[in-house]
Structure 1
């Protein structure tokens, strides 16, 4: 609630990162009983941004030195907020790691900068990947058009073994496909749909399973049909096609409810 009231993008981003982190951890063999804890930790990874003025978070121009100081302090601020949160008597290590380590990078080229020896946790390695991926594939006030998933993945692979854990990054690509789980897409029928799972056909990785959530006029529909976008008609043409990716905030849709 704190993040939703402070900044809608950060709230949506946190939900997306939580979903992506659980999906990656599941693919990496995380114990099922621990997935919910990881998802909760990921949900609060950017809580420190609630201390940053919205005019800085949503600034269309370049950051000043003061702005950058505030941004780079948000991991530390997040841990401090969590440690003071009522109901959390002993701050779980996974939750602290998610807040503190998600911008560090595998080679510690990110922030916060440390002066003591440190070993990046598995939670931190997962969040480094999922946080970066969702941030770069989302539109922002300073970047109206989100980068394509394939372009972002190519950039991330160029930093494999440096900023990102190489093994986890490969698992992540296998997990989310070219179009990530939870993405909102528009079909050629003008219906909106949410991506449920990647395509099982590697040759058509850009054609995931989706659930239709609106009619062509944009009205929400209950119990929308599931569609396998690799299905073809009797002539051999695909029955349905994605015409564009949609930023979730554009239509005010919280796609996380389709995975609960």
Structure 2
């Protein structure tokens, strides 16, 4: 596992004639498992600043690894918990500016996250709210009735929209596992 940064560099080194792209790629391949303090792997022999590209790939790779099934992790972690850990735990070694930009881009609840609403409906996050003041209120696809009946294709609801009285008709209570409700997330996004 820890050899793959070097293997990536060697592979990209073989791609001669492609201008600047392989060189940046080599740097990213080498640095993407290094933390901002240069710990991680491979070990750095001298102090330096990591490339911004490496910092971006490190955040995306870390998020993907934590939220996916892998050989070393059979149970994925819920996306909102991963983002919280990346943001709140500096020991993880991610650049906080890049983490903040990543959260602003994908939202606190990334697309496909299964959530339970205060109306007892289950929904899948359809898109992040473009208004960062409402990052915790994404556009969702309601996929069950309050009684638990699965709806396909369901319907879209913008959780940032208020009703005539100025209240939010729906709010997120918690993130849940879609398998508990017999929901296959990919059925709603293909």
Fold agreement, TM-score > 0.5: yes
Write out aligned runs for 1:30-49 (5 A): none
Distance across 1 between alignment mates of 2:106 and 2:167? 25
Tell me how far 1:201 sits from its aligned partner: 5.7
Partners of 1:248 and 1:106 in 2: CA distance: 35
Q: How many residues are matched?
A: 177
Distance 1:98 1:248 in 2: 34
**Structure 2 vs 1, CA of residues 226 and 89 (structure 1 numbering), >3 Å: closer, same or farther?**
farther
Following superposition, the deviation at residue 103 of structure 1 comes to 0.8
1:155 aligned residue: 88
Larger Rg: 2
Residue in 2 aligned with 1:61? none
User: Deviation at 1:143?
Assistant: 5.3
Change (3 A) 1:133 1:144: closer
Structure with greater helix share of residues: 1
Select which of 189, 196, 206 maps to 2:127.
Answer: 196
Which structure features the higher share of strand residues?
Answer: 2
2:58 match:
128
The answer to whether the Cα contact below 8 Å between 1:104 and 1:110 also exists between their aligned partners in 2 is: yes
Q: How far is the alpha carbon of 1:101 from its aligned partner? A: 2.1
Spell out, residue by residue over 1:163-193, the C-alpha distance to the aligned partner (whole angstroms, 9 max, x if none). 233433343343333323x242234354442
Secondary structure of the 2:124 match is strand
1:239 lines up with 2:169 in the alignment: yes
Report how far residue 111 of structure 1 moved: 0.6
Match of 2:2 in 1: 72
Which runs of structure 2 are paired with 1:1-260 in the superposition (5 Å)? 71-80=1-10, 90=18, 92-115=22-45, 119-136=49-66, 141=73, 146=78, 148-149=81-82, 151-156=84-89, 158-159=90-91, 163-180=93-110, 182-188=111-117, 190-198=121-129, 200=131, 202=133, 204-210=134-140, 212=141, 214=143, 216=145, 217-218=149-150, 220-221=152-153, 225-246=155-176, 253-254=185-186
Cα deviations by residue, 1:86-131 (Å, 9 ceiling, x for unpaired): xx97472344344332211222111111336765222101112222
* Structure 2: runs of 5 or more not aligned: none
Distance 2:170 2:27 in 1: 42
- Structure 1: which 5+ runs fail to align? 1-70
Greater relative contact order: 1 or 2 (C-alpha under 8 angstroms, separation 6 or more)?
1
TM value normalised by structure 2? 0.64
Query: Helix, strand or coil: the match of 1:148?
Result: helix
For 1:124 and 1:247, how far apart are their aligned partners in 2?
31
Contact 1:186 1:242 in 2 (8 A): yes
